[in-house]
């Protein structure tokens, strides 16, 4: 049986997803809003093979570790149950960017897996159903089914927690500069465990969850009114609030390195000098800067000179997940 290959873009949340309401269903504690990035792509091939006695999972050219393999098999079981089949699969997946280092590789990975696996199993799911399915693998993967700006709904149950695209003319203006710290090596605190630990122990976590609806409303209004400054401000403030909740956990979850702080300072200086530049960070040391097509090159050059930065990339908005062949 021929394999199906799919590609999906990672997305960077401008209003963050951090914490679950239901771990079994991967229901987020609050909604989120993101931008898909064309420079961060995962390609995944799924081949159903009746001769296999177990799923074979290969990530980045190597057999997946036990934890990663179990997570993929659990997801494939959802697809098999839906398709009414039991056939095991051979899965190969490559990220065209650093894996497990805070660049949303699980989002693009499970979005690509959802598209490839369902198509290989003979399913033709509409985008919303694909988004719900991808969420079961990784909460942020629900957003990577779509391109551009995407809004994730927290919902009250499995069927109500899905993502959908947001149309805004800002999409033609925005760019994201990605500053990689320390070579993009894997992080020590996985996002899933870190957010669970933050929710359980941080005295700031409830304040974080209460903040998100206000930030979502502000971000959506900025997109509707084409106000990049307002979108940038809520993006930077929301990221700092998320990290404040994690840092206040006991023990604290601290992803930042000296270069992370230096980058934050550099972004503020760039903004004070008239550049469109607003920082955001996920569960890792890297800094992403929301900017414009006009300022992206200048910002990338400036951040490349920060000590500890090993690479910079400029990304335009990415498109939806799709089947390659």
What tens digit of pLDDT does each residue of 132-147 get? 999 999 999 999 999 9
pLDDT number for residue 222? 98
Residue listed under structure tokens 């699969």: 89
In this prediction, residues 12-27 reach a mean pLDDT of 93
pLDDT number for residue 23? 86
In this prediction, residues 57-86 reach a mean pLDDT of 96
What distance in Å separates the CA atoms of residue 233 and residue 236, rounded to the nearest whole number? 5
Lookup: tokens for 100:
């497990």
Average pLDDT of the chain, as a whole number: 94
Lookup: tokens for 13:
């949340």
pLDDT number for residue 103? 62
What tens digit of pLDDT does each residue of 200-259 get? 999 999 999 999 999 999 999 999 999 999 999 999 999 999 999 999 999 999 999 999
Among the listed ranges 18-22, 135-139, 156-160, 183-187, which one has the minimum average pLDDT value?
Answer: 183-187
SS3 string, the chain, reads CCCEEEEEEEEEEEECCCCEEECCCCEECCCEEEEEEEEEEEEEEEEECCCCCCCEEEECCEECCHHHHHHHHHHHHHHHHHHCCCCCEEEEEEECCCCCCCCCHHHHHHHHHHHHHHHHCCCCCCHHHHHHHHHHHCCCHHHHCCCCEEEECCCCCHHHCCEEEECCHHHHCEEEEEEEEHHHCCCCCCHHHHHHHHHHHCCCHHHHHHHHHHHHHHHHHHHHHCCHHHHHHHHHHHHHHHHHHHHCCCCCCCCCCHHHHHHHHHHHHHHHCCCCCEEECCCCCCEEEEEECCCHHHHHHHHHCCCCEEEEEEECECCCCEECC
What tens digit of pLDDT does each residue of 36-62 get? 999 999 999 999 999 999 999 999 899
In this prediction, residues 158-174 reach a mean pLDDT of 97
pTM of the model: 0.95
Evaluate if residue 102 carries a pLDDT over 60.
no
Q: What's the pLDDT band for 280 if we cut at 50, 70, 90? A: very high
Evaluate if residue 16 carries a pLDDT over 90.
yes
**pLDDT above 90 covers what percent of the chain?**
89
What distance in Å separates the CA atoms of residue 15 and residue 291, rounded to the nearest whole number? 16
pLDDT number for residue 187? 64
| Domains of the chain, earliest start first | 4-169 (3.30.230.10), 170-315 (3.30.70.890)
Burial class (CB in 10 A: 0-12, 13-18, 19+), 38: middle
Evaluate if residue 100 carries a pLDDT over 60.
no
What tens digit of pLDDT does each residue of 252-279 get? 999 999 999 999 999 999 999 999 999 9
What distance in Å separates the CA atoms of residue 135 and residue 145, rounded to the nearest whole number? 10
Q: What phi and psi values does residue 280 have, to the nearest 5 degrees?
A: -145, 155
Q: What's the pLDDT band for 164 if we cut at 50, 70, 90? A: very high
Q: What's the pLDDT band for 128 if we cut at 50, 70, 90? A: very high
pLDDT number for residue 97? 73
What distance in Å separates the CA atoms of residue 310 and residue 57, rounded to the nearest whole number? 30
């Amino acid at each position: 049986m021929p394999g199906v290959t799919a590609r999906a873009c990672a997305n960077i949340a401008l209003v963050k997803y951090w914490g679950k309401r239901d771990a079994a269903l991967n229901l987020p504690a609050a909604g989120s809003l993101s931008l898909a990035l064309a420079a961060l792509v995962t390609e995944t091939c799924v081949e159903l093979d009746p001769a296999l006695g177990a799923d074979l999972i290969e990530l980045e050219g190597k057999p997946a570790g036990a934890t990663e393999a179990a997570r993929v098999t659990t997801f494939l079981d959802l697809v098999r149950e839906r398709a009414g089949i039991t056939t095991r699969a051979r899965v190969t997946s490559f990220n065209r960017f650093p894996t497990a280092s805070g660049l949303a590789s699980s989002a693009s990975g499970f979005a690509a897996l959802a598209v490839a696996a369902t198509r290989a199993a003979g399913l033709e799911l509409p985008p919303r159903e694909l988004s719900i399915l991808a969420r079961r693998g990784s909460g942020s993967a629900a957003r990577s089914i779509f391109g551009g700006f995407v809004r994730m709904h927290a919902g009250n149950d499995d069927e109500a927690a899905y993502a959908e695209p947001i149309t805004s003319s800002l999409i033609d203006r925005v760019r994201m500069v990605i500053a990689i710290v320390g070579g993009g090596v894997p992080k020590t605190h996985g996002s899933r465990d870190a957010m669970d630990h933050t929710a359980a122990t941080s005295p700031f976590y409830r304040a974080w969850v209460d903040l998100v609806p206000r930030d979502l409303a502000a971000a959506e209004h900025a997109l509707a009114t084409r106000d990049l400054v307002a979108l940038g401000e809520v993006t930077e403030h929301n990221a700092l609030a998320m990290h404040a909740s994690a840092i206040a956990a006991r023990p604290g979850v601290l992803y930042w390195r000296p270069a992370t702080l230096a980058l934050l300072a550099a972004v503020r200086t760039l903004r004070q000098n008239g550049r469109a530049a607003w920082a955001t960070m996920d569960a890792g040391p890297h800094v992403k800067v929301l900017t414009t097509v006009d300022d992206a090159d200048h910002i990338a050059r400036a951040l490349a000179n920060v000590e500890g930065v090993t690479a910079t990339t400029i990304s335009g908005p990415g498109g939806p997940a799709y089947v390659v062949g």
